[in-house]
């Protein structure tokens, strides 16, 4: 029964993760389709490019909340493994939402929230890593890629059931979604926030 509940929680996690809050909020606020602005991404960083900080903050909060909620639901009905798996599914839902022809966000905020919900020391480490590198470089993509690459190391040493494979797979997907940013970083063309 626990396995069935865990699988159902993981399916629900995908659909929770696939809610495109950035797109919904910008449209509701009369800011148009966020996919036609900046990078075309539906996440908080691109929503910020609309100039509306409140909508960007709301997007960030809701993208985090859906990842954490997916984990909490799985934890309440199943094992730690399925909590990690549901976290992964929430991130996959955000990045590949069925509602948007599988073209979603880059998954950083949702991933960080999943890490915090599954194993808070990992989440704190990933957030601290992101903040430190962003403070030094002012480049969001560099901060995101670094946090995703370093997090599995912490998960390997301190994580519970399913945490390490979840962090490796999640991190790999998020880094892949940043492939264009990585190319610009290597060329020295990635723009920094001022």
The domain segmentation of the chain, as residue ranges, is: 2-187
Neighbours of 102 (CB within 10 A): 11
Q: Where residue 51 falls among pLDDT bands split at 50, 70, 90?
A: confident
Distance, in Å, from the CA atom of 53 to the CA atom of 47, rounded to the nearest integer, reads 8
Does residue 114 contact residue 87 with C-beta atoms inside 8 Å?
yes
For residue 61 the two structure tokens come to 């909060």
Q: Where residue 194 falls among pLDDT bands split at 50, 70, 90?
A: low
Inter-helix orientation angle 163-177/179-187, to 10°: 60
Q: Where residue 161 falls among pLDDT bands split at 50, 70, 90?
A: low
Distance, in Å, from the CA atom of 96 to the CA atom of 89, rounded to the nearest integer, reads 10
Spatial CB neighbours of 49, under 8 Å, sequence gap ≥ 6: 37, 38, 39
Look up the pTM and report it: 0.93
SS3 78: coil
Inter-helix orientation angle 53-77/108-118, to 10°: 40
More confident residue, 26 or 191: 26
pLDDT digit string (tens) for 88-114?
Answer: 999 999 999 999 999 999 999 999 999
pLDDT digit string (tens) for 176-186?
Answer: 999 999 999 99
Question: Above 80 in pLDDT, residue 193?
Answer: no
pLDDT at 63: 97
Does residue 46 contact residue 100 with C-beta atoms inside 8 Å?
no
pLDDT at 5: 92
User: Of the candidates 58, 71, 67, 70, which has an alpha carbon nearest to the alpha carbon of residue 21?
Assistant: 58
Percent of the chain with pLDDT over 90: 76
Place of tokens 């809610």: 19
Average pLDDT estimate for 164-172:
94
What is the length of the chain? 194
Does residue 60 contact residue 44 with C-beta atoms inside 8 Å?
yes
pLDDT at 2: 82
Question: Above 90 in pLDDT, residue 39?
Answer: no
């Amino acid at each position: 029964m626990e396995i069935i509940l865990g699988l159902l929680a993981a399916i629900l996690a995908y659909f929770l993760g696939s809610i495109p809050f950035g797109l919904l909020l910008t449209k509701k606020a009369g800011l148009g389709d966020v996919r036609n602005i900046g990078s075309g991404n539906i996440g908080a960083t691109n929503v910020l490019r609309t100039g509306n900080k409140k909508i960007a903050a709301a997007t960030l909060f809701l993208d985090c909340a859906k990842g954490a909620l997916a984990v909490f639901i799985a934890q309440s009905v199943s094992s730690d493994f399925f909590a990690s798996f549901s976290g992964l599914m929430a991130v996959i839902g955000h990045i590949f939402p069925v509602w948007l022809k599988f073209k979603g966000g880059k998954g950083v905020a949702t991933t960080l929230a999943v890490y915090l919900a599954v194993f808070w020391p990992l989440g704190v480490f990933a957030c601290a890593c992101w903040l430190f590198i962003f403070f030094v470089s002012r480049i969001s993509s560099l901060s995101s890629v670094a946090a995703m690459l370093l997090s599995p190391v912490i998960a390997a040493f301190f994580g519970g059931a399913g945490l390490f494979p979840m962090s490796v797979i999640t991190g790999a997907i998020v880094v892949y979604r940043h492939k264009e940013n990585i190319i610009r970083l290597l060329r020295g063309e990635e723009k920094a926030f001022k």
